[in-house]
Every structure is written in structure tokens, then in C-alpha cells.
Homo-oligomer: A and B are copies of this chain.
Amino acid sequence: MPNSFGKLFQISTWGESHGPSVGVVIDGCPPRLPLAESDIQADLDRRRPGQSDITTPRQEADRVEVLSGIFEGCTTGQPLALLVRNADARPEAYAEMKENYRPSHADFTYQAKYGVRDHRGGGRSSARETIGRVAAGAVARKILSLAGGVEIRAYVTHVHRVAAPSLDHFPTLAEVEATAVRCPHLPTAEKMIATIKEARAAGDSVGGVIECRVRGVPAGLGEPVFDRLEADLAKAMLSLPATKGFEIGSGFTGTLLKGSQHNDAFVQKEGGVGTATNKSGGVQGGISNGEELVFRIAFKPTATILQKQQTVNVHGEASELQARGRHDPCVVPRAVVIVEAMTALVLVDHWMRHAAQNHTFKF
């Protein structure tokens, strides 16, 4: 269960960075969904390394293989097992990790927890674990798209100190994908790219912020107490490597407003009730209200840097670490599709939970 996510649309990921493969099992997928490998591959291609000169040079085709659950072009309601082979694994490049705990990585905590760890490339704490999430997220997105016209769009708003102006519209996928940094505001995108290249040149790294918007979510998704929609989104996002914060709607800035400024007045809208503003970010009392979901996630600068660092080795002795090899100076652009995937997984799961309680029986 520690490697599973979701209650009704449940995914279980497995696999290490430098093992033979990584993958995911999706359990509870609705039957009769038209689905092809290409639906999944499209999202994997957005996630994979080596897409541009601002990411890690690790070369991986990340070609997905569907091992079960599809028959004659449709899902059958049975588990979907999805597999991606690791091609460019170089376990020998990580010998130094065996001896030294890399600062702000999970080497030490895994060792403390399990008394053993697969040190090759971070093992399971590697970002390669997110391949399974993205593959499953692609299935969830297809469900949302076909069944409800739901659109999920994430994009980069901050890289280090470079901040994009707020968007006045729901951006198209093309706008987001226009640059390698996935910020739909082009002048800002250029500055972000320059910042990342500068960090890379210095053997350093930078972080940033992703914003995610979702439109087409019906009112009623989310549970009222613990499994609030924003709570499950927060969990989903904080479960991603390198994340340090989550906020929805007005977020931390909303604490600077008074109630009279912050409340979203209800107004009549076509199709029913809506709100005049959206400080709530699309959820009230843990339940979607039919407005756009809007939330943001903070990503710390990548822990792997190519500079000498003070550390402690596995024997508890003071040591120094000089990382070599491949290095991703900023994970934020590639995380955009991962954020979208997690969002889709949360929404499909809550949609099914909502329907189960409220639409199974008619009274």
C-alpha cells in the first residue's frame, strides 16, 4: 500500500532507476474506454529526459508496453499493467553514492528506514518512479476528456527569481509546449531558460513554481471532511519528488485579505450557480463548486549539483561528495506533465467515489 494511490481508481507503481524496468498497475479502470498505447506514449514523451538542452542528458525512449487489461482497443475493467524498460541505466556511474549520503537526497533516510538501499541512481526515490504515474495519468486524462470534457493544464510560473505575469486566460497546450521550459508567457520563458542554463553551467540547480488549472470539473467532487478535494490534491502534489509547498486559490496570499474581500459572492451563471470571483480556487468545504480549480506547487532546486559538498558517509564519518555524470539543473519543466497526471488521478478517483455514494441508488 505505500506504493499505491487512489481508492477506486488505484495505481501501484514499482521499479528502480537502474533496475531493468519501471511500471504501474492500474486497478479499477472503467471498462469500455477506447485506449491505445499511443494515448499513453504521448504523455510519456512530454515527461522523458533528453527532450531539450535544459534537462538531464539521460537518453531514454520510455516506450510503454501494455501487458494486460486492453482487448480489441478497449479497456476491459481488468488491471492495466504498463511497463517501461530502462535503457540508459548506468549503475556503475553511481558508485560514490554507495559510500556517501548525498545532501538533500533520500540516501540517508532510506538507509535509516530500511537498513538497506538500492543506491544506484537513487533507486526508487529517483524521478523515474514518476513514469508509472504519468502513464496512469494519461489513462485518467483520457477518461476525463471523453466523459466530461475536463481539461487540465499545468505550466511553469516561476523559475528561481524569474516570475511570469498572471495569465488572463486558460492557456492552450500549444502555448505551454511552445518552449522547453513550459511557461506560456514567451518573454518570461526565455529568461527562465537563460536562468537554467546559467545554473547548469555553474554546476548548480534552480527550483520554481508550477500552477495548474482545471476546467470542466462538475460541482460535487470531493469529500467533506478528510478526503477534501484540496487535501487529496495537496497530498498528490507533495508526494512528488522535490516539492515543498502547495496552495489552492488565494493560498498564502489570501491570508492578507479580510473576509469581506476574500469571500466569493455567488452569482447566477449559465448552467446554474457560480461565483463572481474565485479566491476559493474551485473548492468550498472540500467539494468542487464548478469553478476552475487553480493551485500552485513549489519545487525546490534539484539536490544533485556538480559542486563539492560536505557530507557524512555510510560509516558515519565526515566526507566530501563530488557528483559527476548526468545532472538535471531544473526539474520544473518536466514536472508539468507529472502535475497534470496526479491531478487527473485525483479527479477520476473522486468522481467514482462521488458517483458511488450519490448515484448508485435512487430514492
Contact = CB atoms under 8 A, between A and B. Distances in A.
Contacts of A241: 285
Contacts of A8: 1, 353, 356-357
Given A12-B12, A14-B81, A353 B2 contact: yes
A245 B14 CA distance: 30
A245 B244 contact: no
For this complex, into which size category does the number of interface residues on chain A fall? 35 or more
Contact of A78 (B221, B224, B246): B224
Contact of A244 (B147, B252, B287, B360): B252
Contacts of A259: 104, 199, 204-206, 301-305
Interface in A1-50: 1-5, 7-8, 10, 12-16, 19-23, 25, 27-34
Contact of A225 (B124, B251, B309, B310): B124
Interface string A285-323: 111111000000011111111010111100011100000
Interface in A95-121: 101, 103-106, 108-110, 112-118
A229 to B, nearest CB: 9
B284 A109 contact: yes
A355 interface: yes
Interface in A348-363: 351-363
Contacts of A254: 207, 244-245, 298, 300-301
Chain A at the B interface: SS class: mixed
B298 A255 contact: yes
Contact of A273 (B105, B284, B316): B316
Contact of A30 (B5, B112, B361): B361
Contact of A255 (B208, B260, B272, B312): B208
B118 A71 contact: yes
Contact of A125 (B7, B160, B219, B285): B285
A185 to B, nearest CB: 17
A249 interface: yes
A357 B283 CA distance: 24
A238 to B, nearest CB: 4
B147 A361 contact: yes
A88 to B, nearest CB: 17
A113 B1 contact: no
21 contacts: A1-B10, A12-B79, A14-B67, A16-B71, A16-B78, A31-B358, A71-B116, A76-B118, A77-B358, A78-B124, A78-B224, A106-B284, A109-B220, A109-B289, A112-B287, A231-B238, A234-B246, A255-B299, A255-B301, A259-B301, A268-B318
